[in-house]
Amino acid sequence: AEVRNPLNSKESPSGEMLFPGLFLDQLPRQCFLSDNESVVLSSWWGSSETPLIVSLKDSSVTKLSGISPLSSKSDELAPHEIQKESCCSILDVCGDSLLMAVSSPVQPQQLCVFDCKSRQVIGRNSFISRFSIRKIKQKAVSTNIITTPSVTATTETTPAKSAPTDSEADISNLHAVVFKHEAAGVPFDSILLFPKTLVVDGMSVTSLPVVVVPHGGPHSITPTNFIASSAFLASHLQAAVLSVNYRGSIGFGHDSIESLPGKIGANDVADIMTALAAVERSCNLPDDANNSQQLPSLDMRRVCVVGGSHGGFLAAHLVGQYPDVFKAACMRNPVTNIPAMVTCADIPDWCFVEACGIDAYDFSSSQVPSVEQLVAMQQCSPVRYIDRVMAPTLICLGAKDRRVPYSQGLEYFQLLKSRSVETKLMVFPEDVHAIDRPASEAEQWVAIAEWIKKHV
């Protein structure tokens, strides 16, 4: 059925984004309500996964809102901003009841049952208010990891700080705020996650370092749900974690998606800097200004970037284009040199489309890039700015990655090393693009946290 709602991302008079289109991977196993005329599904609406009812009778779309995780302190709903900025994923349907997984940036997933007729939650599981990271020791987590020493300007090596051996982070101390931005008429969001009580080594602090985390894809999203790695960085480092859903992210309409191909390394980088500046203005208010959202003060002298895949591509761009802003970087399987990647990756279409434009690739056959296309790929590659990079850089690679060849990060490491930029390489021999084997995932995030602690 045709969905007769506006397929753009303009805002309504109330400021709420209108229906941006459908952005989903699959339908629930059972997706029909009892009337057999209504389909229920979860789709990205801005930065939030949102449950929708699509009528096959009149093609209307109904947004189910107000569903949120329970507060960690009571059985009441979480605060208003968390109700609005949470993610709801429909898992199954029985009659007019929906089984959903509900989460927010400060609450892990919970199961709930939602009744479509009464528009009420009729059942929940108990909430989880704490998560623990116990006895994480780098040497015990992964015994087959390959590392190279840190390289400083004087080629001396500095031993890495030991990983935390017994820490417990209380996520009830975390708070999240979603910021709205716009560039060239296209909206995008950023999500700021930060600890409400600022204590480092038993001492109160007045301002927080900033960890910028761009997502991969680039046609993906950082959702307003619970992300353990972000919660870990915010709580363990006592830092503000800024995730930017730059133009090209899903959930913001067709115009947003099509605005990025051919402009990677430019539009996405500009959006991150726009979000960073806007968040700084909102957080670093004069002493007599009204801070109704209880935003933290940010220390803009201590800004770093962490990203994987296209997020690693953006991390490399940011430290190259803005060397005075970013004091450290952590990259996970980053794209760094697109001309060197296009003929050996399992996504050559990505290289053509994202670097040269939507119509640059013929999906009916394999292609060899033209000289003009290779030049365009080089122009948007982070290696273009390698001579400007000053930030100490940690690079984590999965040796079996076919999506972004291992050689991309290795070449970037060698380029930094030859320029006396402090850098460290961690290779996970059995991991692929995601570096998500349990031991490897724990190892890399501990290493990332310790790298930031050392350099920011």
Which residues are identified as catalytic?
A: 309, 401, 433
Buried/exposed code over 416-451 (b: 16+ C-beta within 10 A; e: otherwise) = bbeeebbbbbbbbeebebbbeeebbbbbbbbbbbbb
What does the alpha-carbon distance between residue 419 and residue 71 come to, in Å, rounded to a whole number? 50
396 has which bridge partners?
A: 332, 426
What does the alpha-carbon distance between residue 401 and residue 437 come to, in Å, rounded to a whole number? 13
At 62, list the tokens.
């109904």
Strand, coil or helix: what is 146?
A: strand
Ramachandran angles phi, psi of 228, nearest 5°: -60, -40
Strand, coil or helix: what is 11?
A: strand
Cβ neighbours of 88 (radius 10 Å): 23
Contact partners, residue 162, CB within 8 Å, separation at least 6: 137, 138
What does the alpha-carbon distance between residue 110 and residue 104 come to, in Å, rounded to a whole number? 10
Greatest pairwise CA separation for the chain in angstroms:
73
Q: Are 402 and 432 in contact (CB under 8 A)?
A: yes
What does the alpha-carbon distance between residue 406 and residue 166 come to, in Å, rounded to a whole number? 33
456 has which bridge partners?
A: none
Single-letter amino acid code for the residue at 352: F
Helix (H) or strand (E) holding 176: strand 174-183
Single-letter amino acid code for the residue at 161: K
What does the alpha-carbon distance between residue 275 and residue 293 come to, in Å, rounded to a whole number? 17
Token pair 């087959």: residue: 144
Strand, coil or helix: what is 330?
A: strand
Token pair 């820490």: residue: 167
Q: Are 403 and 347 in contact (CB under 8 A)?
A: yes
Query: DSSP states of 177-206 as a string?
Result: EEEEEEETTEEEEEEEEEESS-EETTEE-S
Q: Are 100 and 80 in contact (CB under 8 A)?
A: no
